[in-house]
Amino acid sequence: MDFEYTREEEAFRQEVRDFLDENLPPREQRGSDFMENWLARVREKRWVGFSWPREVGGGGGDIMSQVILKEEMAARRAPPLGTCMMGLAWVGPGIIQYGTDEQKARFIPDILDSKYHWCTGYSEPNVGSDLAALQCKALRDGDHYVINGTKIWTTLAPIASWISMLVRTDNFGSEEAKHEGITALLVKLDAPGIEIRPIENMAGQRAFAQIFFDNVRVPVANRLGDEGKGWAVTISSLANERSSIGEVTAMYSKLESLKELVRRTTRNGKPLSDKPSVRRELARFEAKIEAMRLNGLRYLTRQIRGQPLSSETSVNKLHRADLEVEMGDFAVSILGQAGNQTRRQEGAVDNGSWAADALGWPSVVIGGGTPNIQKNIIAERILKLPKD
Amino acid sequence: MDFEYTREEEAFRQEVRDFLDENLPPREQRGSDFMENWLARVREKRWVGFSWPREVGGGGGDIMSQVILKEEMAARRAPPLGTCMMGLAWVGPGIIQYGTDEQKARFIPDILDSKYHWCTGYSEPNVGSDLAALQCKALRDGDHYVINGTKIWTTLAPIASWISMLVRTDNFGSEEAKHEGITALLVKLDAPGIEIRPIENMAGQRAFAQIFFDNVRVPVANRLGDEGKGWAVTISSLANERSSIGEVTAMYSKLESLKELVRRTTRNGKPLSDKPSVRRELARFEAKIEAMRLNGLRYLTRQIRGQPLSSETSVNKLHRADLEVEMGDFAVSILGQAGNQTRRQEGAVDNGSWAADALGWPSVVIGGGTPNIQKNIIAERILKLPKD
Amino acid sequence: MNFGFTEEQELLREQVRKFLEERCPTSTVRSIMNSDAGYSSEHWSQMAALGWLGLMIDESHEGVGLGWIDLIVVLEEMGRSLCPTPFVSHCLTASTLCELGNEEQKKTCLPGLASGDTIGTIAVLDIPDDPIADNLTLQASADPGGIILTGTKPFVTDAGSADLFLVAYRHANKPGLAIVRRQDDGVSASSTATMDLTKRTGTLTLENVKVPAAQLIPMTEAQLIRLLDKGVVAVTAEMVGAAEAIIEMTTSYARERIQFGHPIGKYQGVKHRLAEMYVDVESFKSLAYFAAWCVDEDPDQLPRAASLAKAYASDAFAQMGIDGVQLHGAIGFTQEYDIQLYLKRSKWARPMFGDADYHYERVAALTL
Amino acid sequence: MNFGFTEEQELLREQVRKFLEERCPTSTVRSIMNSDAGYSSEHWSQMAALGWLGLMIDESHEGVGLGWIDLIVVLEEMGRSLCPTPFVSHCLTASTLCELGNEEQKKTCLPGLASGDTIGTIAVLDIPDDPIADNLTLQASADPGGIILTGTKPFVTDAGSADLFLVAYRHANKPGLAIVRRQDDGVSASSTATMDLTKRTGTLTLENVKVPAAQLIPMTEAQLIRLLDKGVVAVTAEMVGAAEAIIEMTTSYARERIQFGHPIGKYQGVKHRLAEMYVDVESFKSLAYFAAWCVDEDPDQLPRAASLAKAYASDAFAQMGIDGVQLHGAIGFTQEYDIQLYLKRSKWARPMFGDADYHYERVAALTL
């Protein structure tokens, strides 16, 4: 057991730090061209798609260096390494693993260069946790598929140019063989027959959309992987999730802001930071976040050693979901009426940012597979308990 | 809405109080014949079997007077009104509702006179929450049933003379018709073929037993209700539970002892009663107990008005289960190592009584139908959610 | 002993529920909550016509002369429907005037409140949120024939719509209430929505406001606390109704939403949480009813009873708000679905007139 | 960065597990825990022979010279099996002597500890239970060539079986440790079982015990706290193993126990609780491993790391003890079934070297 880093790893960490010293000025000093330059510089370093193979344009980096890169970026609250978020997180890895050479050549460079946005289409109105029950269908017509149906909860859809989506090309209406007959397609969002309808969430943001497909024609060349084998593509992209290092740093930084808040806030004349229940709750958050950090490192060690993981990542997902809800609610629970006021409302604390946090958790908590599903995964796959 | 009592009710309350003043000396002044006299006096008053019809020897009392009687008895920590606990709580009401005139004449007076103990035989080794899956069988042989099988978790079995038990007389091995074919029998425990093996619980007490039946012959005259209709007998005896008034008084008295404990106990030089988390937890117990009291009164009002209850009693059962576990654990959780020491162990607090409490909850919590079962009952019967 | 409602009270409940179902369905709630006024003057007149605005006011002052148990029947239904209205503020004002005002003050103020021509609210604490006497700090200065008030009261509910304010102050070491009207010189008040858009709050600013002695209501500290405890009871009664709505909406969703081939209400992960919610609502409902009964019938027991109810409700309802949304999955947190409105109500209600921490501590102080 | 065990450590774990499975199955645990001695001297010699008793002792003093990460591998397995043994007390004694003793003291004491001829324990706090310096109050009086100790140390683990006690005292405003032997004049100690019959505790009574200077170990307050933090880590490591045993036993019961036609493990009410237990144990295991690593490799981080681990474990393991029994239904709370032994262990472990309240508060003091 060893929490030290090798000399090479430390050197890489220093390289990242030096880079950030040079290229990441304080927020108020950033000019209008900052973001463009930033993206160009990190692209030059091959830090975009850091773990992707060098032959497709990635960095070919190993897991440990990736952890270091994420840690340092998160610690300095650096902007993302590319703006094509879904492309970098989900679509790119899928194309690299299952795509044809043409698809790789066509899509990967654009993702790395932040050319345009991608979104992903899994959920449907009657299909939530039970992803394989999807009904959006695509029928073959010569060298095209014709899509009819709808996708919902599609993040970024209002600004994306492409969608990587799952459709049903076979086994319509079969409950038993529902995992078969699913196909993954890459679809340009300006195709005729597509309508995108934004969905407003309870915090008033429009980050999601429902997309309607009415006889949308997609070339067979845009199929990702084999026909009917789209479930494997999805599974592999879900399994693509690595340890939650960046997340942990973000949670620590959220915890720091809570600590800062309770230090400067008084109630009945005393700082909230002196209140025993406040102190205990913050310490409990710290224990959970530190557990996430260490769980992540323990599982990472297993991966580096080539020992297969089962579904251990669900452990940190459950912590994350709890913490999102609890930390999101914590500030407003101790700030009284003022804490509940949102932006531009009378008496709001910190311009309503805590109140906004208290309404922001569901996209994380529900989006990543509900806690109940995560518990089923642990119970069934790790503890070998019977299925529901 | 009115929490006052009628003049008649207040007069009855006064009658009980006067009786207690006269007949319930302080514990240290009670002589060896106290209990015998006590039982005789309350029997004279017809307070044993208070709500049972007068023609079988009961008191014919109404619900409200029964509540008052229970409240006053519990408030003064009076001894029970009869020592035949299971007879008064379960067996007697069953015999009154389903028994023949001969059975009533034979058993009810003895129950009221605390002549001997009864126990009840429902659970079996492979039959816990799913009571109707019982397998202990009784085959008809002329004017006898012949019982083979076993009953477990039978409270008081080691000292009881009779058992009221469920056996299967039909539908052996049928999952679907399992509620049919169950028969209730009244069995004398000295019958040949009966073996009683006490079970020690984790607190070291032997209040339970497993009973083995090997070709035990029981006269058909001892059957309670019709053959194959024993499930109805059970259901009605379970439904016979009234509001939890006596229980609530007992919980309040337990809460009082906890308050007294934290007032006289210091930790790092300060009374535990000054510690905010201790104060909050005790107040939370108080809220739950008071909620139980008021829920009980609300449901009681409905009963008095003749409005049918669904399974609302499960609400208080769940509170009770939580409180038993939480209050049982609370003292030892704040007393440190000393609190964990049981009787005759080094440094025990209050001769280990808190430690004993911390091990005593399961019989209440599990015995009354596990919390998971109670939640199913509420979800399915009241909220009309689908069955598992 | 009788812990149930009378036939009249059940009829009142039916009347209120019917009114709100017909006149204030969620579509109406949404359009009112997004309006500037934050309440519907049409509803207000209708409520006046039905006698609800004068519910607490005795008949000699043109009211209906009912009590707190009747009031909470109305409040429970209001909570269920989320109807945006200054009703709670108004009733607290009326109830306080009835109890503490002199005959002249009653004659002047109550008929207007009963008819709804005047909307009333209370402005008590200068330091939010704990409902303790120390948090009333506004010092009045002496003036010939009365007092002068200068200061700001934060978080005055419905400050924007109210015409009449009962403003708490201290003078000569004693607390009192001043009857102040919106049009009085030096008075200004406006309110914004809260996170829960169906509820409004604002600041009441008083600049050299002269209040003649005839408009002053002397008050003991105990009466001040009693006034705040009435607020506790009113808010908790609304929480009961809103919490029941969460169970109803989520239960019906759980019966219909199919996942993995079954309604999600079949899975214990969902059904047990709903059962726990039921246990909690049944319980803080009983506590709230009893506290309401204490207001009129057993004032000595009110502090403990009110605190037990609000403490239990604050924690339980806040968790229900969150879980109600979560059990709905993604649809639950869309603006167009109603369950999230109840989440916001649960956040709003939690600190009102004291949160669970405050009220549990108060119970401990009273009983430990 | 490498957060895993070495091959040697995995082999050690296998060796310990195999030993305990073979030599200390539950039937043996039960017979030892009901014996007067409370441990098996046969086990003790075997453990000595396997080198476990000298694990922390360097080779120059006839030990094996391993570190805390190796130790917690053994402790985790001990926790899993509930093996009744003074092993933890013994290791804390050895580790402290190695770190703080002078060469002469090491020469005198360590070989006996490594061979198991001497059983060691520590007697630190005079006021249980919070592991803070203020709770060491025993004042030594001066004596030519040493000190005199008079007093009683409560809750000294394994006081009945120990031969050598490291007794904490204060003298001239400074804390120190005295090496005291059972046979020394004025020393008496005995122990009884605790609620967890596999663990023993007792009072060490010192009456005019003369301790020569050569037997005294000077200590700073920081070293005192570090000694207690080692206790925290050791107890938490045992909790990890015991908690995993609860999951294993309950999971296997849930797979086999049929109710309503299905294994109870099919119902989310059961399976989700088990999944939550898994999440908790994975988490306090990671925290405990890291704290153990800090003992040897990053002492500055030890206080926070140890407190996070013990705080998380105390709450989570206590709840698991209760739920493990509850999920077993009636059979779970019979004396003959093993799950209740783990409930008792969870009660025992909770306050040892500080409970969750203490450790969370300490984290707050360190980080807020």
Does the pLDDT of residue B241 top 60, yes or no?
A: no
pLDDT-based confidence at B237, cuts 50/70/90? Answer: low
In D272-311, the residues whose Cβ lies within 8 Å of chain B are none
A180 touches chain D (CB under 8 A): no
Q: B295-309, B332-346, D151-165, D287-301: which range is least confident on average?
A: B295-309
Give the separation between CA B182 and CA B145, rounded to whole angstroms: 13
CB contact under 8 A, C266 and B291: no
Is there a domain that residue A104 lies in? no
Q: Which residue has the tokens 């920081």?
A: D222
Closest CB to B388 among C268, C287, C312: C268
pLDDT-based confidence at A236, cuts 50/70/90? Answer: low
Are residue C73 and residue C101 in the same domain, yes or no? yes
Give the separation between CA B11 and CA C168, rounded to whole angstroms: 46
Q: Can you give the residue range of the structural domain that contains B16?
A: 7-82
Beta pairing partners, D175: D170
Are residue D268 and residue D361 in the same domain, yes or no? yes
Give the separation between CA D180 and CA D202, rounded to whole angstroms: 16
Domain end, chosen from C185, C219, C253, is at C219
CB contact under 8 A, A385 and D266: yes
Amino acid at C46: Q
Are residue A269 and residue A251 in the same domain, yes or no? yes
Please report how the helices C221-256 and C268-297 are oriented relative to each other, as an axis angle in degrees rounded to 10.
Answer: 150
**pLDDT, position B127:** 82
Q: Give chain B's mean pLDDT.
A: 91
Are residue C95 and residue C74 in the same domain, yes or no? yes
Give the separation between CA C109 and CA C101, rounded to whole angstroms: 9
Are residue B316 and residue B247 in the same domain, yes or no? yes
Q: Cβ contacts (< 8 Å) between A373 and chain C: which residues?
A: none
Q: What is the mean pLDDT of residues C110-126?
A: 98
Q: What is the pLDDT of residues A293-310, one digit of tens each?
A: 999 999 989 988 888 888
**pLDDT, position A307:** 86
Does the pLDDT of residue A184 top 70, yes or no?
A: yes
Is there a domain that residue D2 lies in? no
Are residue A224 and residue A250 in the same domain, yes or no? no
Domain end, chosen from B235, B266, B296, is at B235
Are residue C209 and residue C241 in the same domain, yes or no? no
Is there a domain that residue A156 lies in? yes
Amino acid at B87: G
Is there a domain that residue A184 lies in? yes
Instruction: Copy the structure tokens of residue A149.
Output: 């149906």
First to last CA, chain A: 39
Q: What is the pLDDT of residues B188-208, one digit of tens each?
A: 999 999 999 999 999 888 888
* DSSP H helical ranges for A199-273: 230-239, 245-264
Domains contained in chain D, number: 3
Q: How far is C96 from chain A (nearest CA, A)?
A: 23
**pLDDT, position B126:** 83
**Which among A241-255, C68-82, D324-338 has the top mean pLDDT?**
C68-82
Are residue B369 and residue B258 in the same domain, yes or no? yes
Please report how the helices C302-327 and A313-340 are oriented relative to each other, as an axis angle in degrees rounded to 10.
Answer: 130
Query: Cβ(A5)–Cβ(A68) under 8 Å?
Result: yes
CB contact under 8 A, C193 and A345: yes
Q: What is the pLDDT of residues C326-336, one digit of tens each?
A: 999 989 999 99
Query: Which CATH number covers residue B264?
Result: 1.20.140.10
Are residue D90 and residue D35 in the same domain, yes or no? yes
Measured CA distances, C360 to A31, A359, B288, C303, C320 (Å): 53, 26, 12, 11, 19
CB contact under 8 A, B337 and D128: yes
Q: What is the mean pLDDT of residues C228-238?
A: 98
Is there a domain that residue C344 lies in? yes
Query: Which CATH number covers residue D159?
Result: 2.40.110.10
Q: Cβ contacts (< 8 Å) between D3 and chain A: which residues?
A: 1, 3, 294, 297-298, 300-301
Domain end, chosen from C80, C96, C115, is at C115
Q: B238-252, B275-289, C257-271, D272-286: which range is least confident on average?
A: B238-252
Are residue B31 and residue B143 in the same domain, yes or no? no
Is there a domain that residue A388 lies in? no
Give the separation between CA A111 and CA A92, rounded to whole angstroms: 7
Query: Which CATH number covers residue D350?
Result: 1.20.140.10
Are residue D245 and residue D174 in the same domain, yes or no? no
pLDDT-based confidence at C150, cuts 50/70/90? Answer: very high
Q: A152-161, C93-102, D32-41: which range is least confident on average?
A: A152-161
Query: Cβ(C100)–Cβ(C178) under 8 Å?
Result: no
Are residue A325 and residue A378 in the same domain, yes or no? yes
Are residue C70 and residue C135 in the same domain, yes or no? no
Are residue A321 and residue A356 in the same domain, yes or no? yes
Measured CA distances, D153 to D137, D167, D191 (Å): 10, 8, 12
Query: Cβ(D201)–Cβ(D256) under 8 Å?
Result: no
A243 against C177, higher pLDDT:
C177
Write the CB contacts of A142 (distance below 8 Å, at least 6 apart in sequence): none
Are residue C107 and residue C193 in the same domain, yes or no? no
Torsion angle of alpha carbons D151, D152, D158, D162, nearest 10°?
Answer: 20
Are residue B187 and residue B309 in the same domain, yes or no? no
Measured CA distances, A185 to A118, A217, A240, D144, D273 (Å): 13, 11, 19, 90, 39
CB pairs under 8 A between B and D: 124
Closest CB to A337 among C334, C340, C351: C351
Query: Which CATH number covers residue A221?
Result: 2.40.110.10
Q: How far is D135 from chain B (nearest CA, A)?
A: 8
Query: Cβ(D79)–Cβ(D233) under 8 Å?
Result: no
Q: In the 8-state DSSP scheme, what is residue A125?
A: T
Q: What is the mean pLDDT of residues C203-229?
A: 98
C252 touches chain A (CB under 8 A): no
Query: Which CATH number covers residue C104?
Result: 1.10.540.10
Measured CA distances, B218 to B120, C364, D241 (Å): 16, 58, 51
Are residue C235 and residue C328 in the same domain, yes or no? yes
Is there a domain that residue C1 lies in? no
Are residue B370 and residue B250 in the same domain, yes or no? yes
CB contact under 8 A, B294 and C361: no
Is there a domain that residue B95 lies in? no
Measured CA distances, B371 to A327, B361, D327 (Å): 29, 13, 10
Is there a domain that residue C2 lies in? no
Does the pLDDT of residue C2 top 80, yes or no?
A: yes
CB contact under 8 A, C286 and B388: no
pLDDT-based confidence at B14, cuts 50/70/90? Answer: very high
Give the separation between CA A310 and CA C91, rounded to whole angstroms: 60
pLDDT-based confidence at B244, cuts 50/70/90? Answer: low
Is there a domain that residue B272 lies in? yes
Q: What is the pTM of this model?
A: 0.95
CB pairs under 8 A between A and B: 8
Burial of A141 (0-12, 13-18, 19+ CB in 10 A): exposed
Are residue D28 and residue D108 in the same domain, yes or no? yes
C258 touches chain A (CB under 8 A): yes
Does the pLDDT of residue A3 top 90, yes or no?
A: no
Instruction: Copy the structure tokens of residue B226.
Output: 């019709």
Write the CB contacts of C160 (distance below 8 Å, at least 6 apart in sequence): C37, C38, C189, C190, C191, C192, C200, C202
D358 against A73, higher pLDDT:
D358
Q: What is the mean pLDDT of residues D113-140?
A: 97
CB contact under 8 A, B338 and D128: yes
Amino acid at A360: G
Q: What is the mean pLDDT of residues C151-165?
A: 97
Are residue D62 and residue D173 in the same domain, yes or no? no
Are residue B363 and residue B319 in the same domain, yes or no? yes
Does the pLDDT of residue A368 top 70, yes or no?
A: no
Measured CA distances, B2 to B6, B185, B289, C48 (Å): 10, 44, 20, 28
Is there a domain that residue B387 lies in? no
Q: What is the mean pLDDT of residues A9-30?
A: 94
Q: What is the pLDDT of residues B252-275, one digit of tens each?
A: 989 999 999 999 999 888 999 999
Are residue A70 and residue A130 in the same domain, yes or no? no
**pLDDT, position B5:** 86
Are residue C292 and residue C271 in the same domain, yes or no? yes
A169 against B245, higher pLDDT:
A169
Domains contained in chain A, number: 3
**pLDDT, position D80:** 98
Catalytic residue among B180, B227, B241, B380: B241
pLDDT-based confidence at D108, cuts 50/70/90? Answer: very high
Which of A64, A68, A294 is the mutation pick for testing D, counting most D CBs within 10 A? Answer: A294
Print the SS3 string covering C10-27. HHHHHHHHHHHHHHCCHH
Query: Cβ(B135)–Cβ(B127) under 8 Å?
Result: yes
Domain end, chosen from B235, B269, B289, is at B235
B287 touches chain C (CB under 8 A): yes
CB contact under 8 A, B291 and C293: no
**pLDDT, position B238:** 59
Q: What is the pLDDT of residues A42-58, one digit of tens each?
A: 999 999 999 999 999 99
- Coil, strand or helix: which one is B107? helix
The percentage of residues in chain A with a pLDDT greater than 70, rounded to a whole number, is 97
Is there a domain that residue D1 lies in? no
Instruction: Copy the structure tokens of residue A174.
Output: 């079969």
Q: Can you give the residue range of the structural domain that contains D289?
A: 222-367
Closest CA to B102 of B71, B143, B56: B56
Torsion angle of alpha carbons B365, B368, B372, B374, nearest 10°?
Answer: -130
- Number of neighbours of residue B176 by Cβ within 10 angstroms: 8
Q: B205-209, D39-43, D356-360: which range is least confident on average?
A: B205-209
Closest CA to C124 of C171, C75, C165: C165
Is there a domain that residue D316 lies in? yes
Question: Which ipTM did the prediction report?
Answer: 0.95
Does the pLDDT of residue A240 top 60, yes or no?
A: no
Which chain A residue shows the shortest CA-CA distance from C338? A202
Q: Give chain A's mean pLDDT.
A: 91
Q: Cβ contacts (< 8 Å) between B341 and chain D: which residues?
A: 192, 194-195, 201
Query: Cβ(B147)–Cβ(B216) under 8 Å?
Result: yes
Give the separation between CA C142 and CA A261, rounded to whole angstroms: 40
Amino acid at A77: R
Q: How far is A226 from chain C (nearest CA, A)?
A: 25
Neighbours of chain B (3+ CB pairs under 8 A): A, C, D
A302 touches chain D (CB under 8 A): yes
Measured CA distances, A75 to A35, A81, A244, A252, A254 (Å): 19, 14, 14, 9, 12
Domain end, chosen from B188, B213, B235, is at B235
Are residue A317 and residue A295 in the same domain, yes or no? yes
Tell me whether strands B162-168 and D164-171 are parallel, antiparallel or unpaired: unpaired
Domain end, chosen from C155, C187, C219, is at C219
Q: What is the mean pLDDT of residues A231-245?
A: 65
Does the pLDDT of residue B366 top 80, yes or no?
A: no
Is there a domain that residue D239 lies in? yes
The percentage of residues in chain C with a pLDDT greater than 90, rounded to a whole number, is 98
- Coil, strand or helix: which one is D155? strand
Does the pLDDT of residue A238 top 80, yes or no?
A: no
CB contact under 8 A, D129 and B152: no
Is there a domain that residue C363 lies in? yes
Is there a domain that residue A373 lies in? yes
**pLDDT, position B16:** 96
Query: Cβ(B171)–Cβ(B181) under 8 Å?
Result: yes
Query: Cβ(C288)–Cβ(C321) under 8 Å?
Result: no
CB contact under 8 A, B201 and D202: no
Does the pLDDT of residue C213 top 70, yes or no?
A: yes
Instruction: Copy the structure tokens of residue C44.
Output: 């207000």
Query: Cβ(D131)–Cβ(D147) under 8 Å?
Result: no
B379 touches chain C (CB under 8 A): yes
